[in-house]
């Protein structure tokens, strides 16, 4: 089985396994105690903190170990906003932040705070000018991920951090996806990360708060971890997390070159092997091991099952894999195709042969899914009208059926005429405009309908 979902969780690094087993014997005592076993545990904890801080690029006394990357974000956002409550109640986030950041923003807004969301371009990147324009006199905090967990696009963190520093606004960086590759540049103020993203054990997060940043811990304060993480430290996991971070960093430069070559092979070959595919994310400013693409007329969940049966573990941001039938907020913000979405994220050490095998399997998997969905042959469609315009009733039909039915009837109207697609699927709002851009047709817009919405498409060719 080829595991291609390292962006969700990387396999445990051998160094992490060794450190974990060793520290189970040596680091079981309370590091707050003064007797011999406690002092030994404290030495392990201090050494882990020093190693992690060196990798992050901060002082050891600025770094706190918490229970996860999500917890690090929640604590960091809440503490920074509370610490700067006199400055104002305005928060800035990007449209493609991890859900932990967006959930924090939702809570802040529900409590009476103001939130500005900075949009991204079609490659998933924010404009530095977008943050510059969003900063206000009452801005308390800005947040920006270092790189996208879904499409791999790297963000201009250093430039945004400079903008924030000039305005006197702290910047919190979610570095979960990039920290295993390199330290985050620029004068950021807070940083969050998660060990399972770089091959450490799950259940360990990092929160760095640089000196001079106003920060007020929310909730009951514990004497451990500067009051920012209550409870007994999971010392064996912390030691393993720090050891694996140091180990992957030592390999990162060389491995990045190799994985970039493999992901570029996927980016180039997939559109050659499979018709009607959109490769998404920035082609240059991207993480080494992540590549994402979407396939027209394919159900994301079914496609993932097909690839799983062929021996490949991949993930998807497609609405078809969600019980809510709502496309990924990242793909939606980018305005790209969501149906049949596949994210390949290669872990350290992925053999080139596995990538070649994936490319040989993918065309058959996509063809099988499309055939199951009826894409190659007409399906029953309620059509009213002929020649100059058509109405396609796709109500009650889910991703990617509305787009499949649109594609089958576009040739039945004259050039310049329109097709009106009725749909109550949230994914249609994203996928029909994306289909138009891919197929050279004009997306006229959306209109209200008795049920759902009507999406108008004009035939150009």
Candidates 164, 320, 399, 436; catalytic one: 320
At 9, phi and psi to the nearest 5? Answer: -160, 125
Tell me how far apart the alpha carbons of residues 229 and 202 are, in angstroms, rounded to a whole number: 16
DSSP 309-323: HTTEE-B---GGGST
Tokens standing for residue 269: 């070959």
Helix axes 401-409, 428-439, angle to 10 degrees: 40
Contacts 24+ apart (CB under 8 A), 377-384: 378/408, 379/404, 379/405, 379/408, 381/405, 381/408, 381/409, 383/409, 383/412
Residue 146 and residue 174 in contact, taking contact as beta carbons nearer than 8 Å? yes
Is 399 tagged catalytic? no
Tokens standing for residue 132: 């510059």
Beta strands 205-209; 63-66: pairing state: antiparallel
Neighbours of 211 (CB within 10 A): 9
Q: Which amino acids are annotated catalytic?
A: 320
């Amino acid at each position: 089985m080829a595991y291609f979902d390292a962006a969700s969780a990387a396999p445990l690094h051998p160094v992490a396994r060794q450190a974990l087993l060793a520290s189970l014997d040596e680091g079981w005592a309370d590091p707050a105690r003064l007797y011999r076993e406690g002092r030994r545990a404290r030495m392990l904890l201090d050494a882990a903190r020093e190693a992690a801080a060196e990798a992050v690029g901060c002082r050891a006394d600025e770094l706190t170990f918490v229970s996860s990357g999500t917890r690090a974000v929640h604590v960091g956002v809440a503490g920074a906003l509370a610490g700067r409550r006199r400055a104002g109640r305005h928060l800035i986030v990007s449209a493609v932040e991890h859900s932990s950041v967006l959930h924090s923003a939702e809570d802040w807004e529900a409590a009476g705070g103001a939130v500005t969301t900075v949009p991204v371009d079609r490659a998933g990147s924010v404009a530095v000018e977008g943050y510059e324009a969003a900063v206000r006199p009452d801005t308390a905090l800005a947040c920006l991920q270092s790189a996208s967990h879904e499409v791999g696009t790297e963000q201009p963190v250093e430039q945004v951090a400079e903008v924030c520093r000039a305005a006197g606004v702290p910047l919190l960086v979610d570095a979960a996806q990039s920290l295993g590759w390199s330290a985050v540049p620029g004068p950021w103020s807070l940083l969050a990360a998660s060990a399972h993203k770089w091959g450490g054990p799950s259940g360990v997060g990092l929160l760095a708060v640089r000196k001079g940043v106003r920060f007020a811990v929310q909730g009951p304060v514990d004497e451990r971890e500067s009051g920012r993480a209550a409870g007994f430290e999971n010392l064996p996991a912390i030691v393993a997390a720090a050891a694996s971070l140091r180990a992957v960093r030592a390999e990162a430069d060389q491995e990045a070159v190799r994985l970039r070559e493999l992901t570029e092979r996927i980016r180039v070959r997939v559109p050659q092997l499979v018709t009607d595919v959109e490769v998404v994310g920035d082609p240059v400013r991207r993480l080494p091991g992540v590549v994402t693409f979407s396939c027209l007329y394919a159900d994301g969940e079914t496609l993932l099952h097909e690839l799983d049966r062929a021996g490949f573990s991949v993930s998807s941001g497609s609405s078809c894999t969600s019980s809510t039938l709502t496309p990924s907020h990242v793909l939606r913000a980018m305005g790209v195709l969501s149906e049949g979405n596949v994210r390949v994220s290669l872990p350290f050490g992925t053999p080139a042969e596995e990538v070649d095998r994936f490319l040989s399997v993918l065309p058959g998997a996509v063809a099988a899914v499309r055939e199951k969905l009826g894409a190659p042959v007409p399906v029953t469609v309620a059509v009213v009208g002929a020649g100059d315009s058509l109405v396609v009733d796709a109500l009650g039909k889910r991703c990617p059926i509305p787009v499949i039915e649109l594609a089958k009837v576009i040739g039945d109207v004259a050039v310049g005429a329109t097709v009106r697609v009725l749909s109550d699927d949230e994914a249609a709002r994203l996928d029909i405009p994306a289909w138009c851009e891919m197929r050279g047709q004009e997306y006229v817009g959306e209109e209200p309908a008795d049920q759902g919405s009507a999406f108008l498409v004009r035939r150009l060719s």
